[in-house]
Amino acid sequence: MSDGRAPRLAAIGLAAGVLSGLLGVGGGVVMVPLLVLAAGLSQHHAHATSLAAIVPIAAVAAARFAAAGEVEVADAALLALGAVVGAPVGARIMHGLGEASLKIAFGVLMVVVGGVMAWP
């Protein structure tokens, strides 16, 4: 990482951590676009890197919320079970998509999620 990306990556991680803890967003919503635009990663590498980085972010935030009694443990366990089963499927699909298709799919997802969240 001798290309000077370290400060940008640390800033992206900081932003993802703050927004994940504050808004409950998945780190990918924040990290993937920033890793592509600010750190110069390919879409594929940004997705994979974001997934690897979200593990400690989620663990720290979840521990904080659990200590405050705000985690529905049974619900979280069911979500985790589904995610553990689904993640390899999604990773395989992502691996088969071209760079442009992956960017479009991610962008469409962000627009749809934004629309659903903004709809009264």
pLDDT by residue (tens digit) across 22-77? 777 767 888 999 999 999 999 999 999 998 988 888 899 899 999 999 999 999 99
- The C-alpha atoms of residue 17 and residue 3 are separated, in whole angstroms, by 24
User: Residue type at 46?
Assistant: A
Contact 30, 19 (CB under 8 A): yes
Contact 45, 51 (CB under 8 A): no
| Residue pLDDT, tens place only, 97-112 | 999 999 999 999 999 9
Domain that holds residue 38: 6-118
Number of domains into which the chain is organized? 1
Whether 27 is in a domain gets the answer yes
Whether 35 is in a domain gets the answer yes
First to last CA, the chain: 45
Whether 1 is in a domain gets the answer no
- Judged against a pLDDT cut of 70, whether residue 114 lies above it is answered with yes
Record the tokens describing residue 32, joined without a space. Answer: 């993937």
Whether 23 is in a domain gets the answer yes
| Entry pTM | 0.82
Whether 54 is in a domain gets the answer yes
pLDDT recorded at residue 54: 86
Confidence class of residue 1 from pLDDT cuts 50, 70 and 90? low
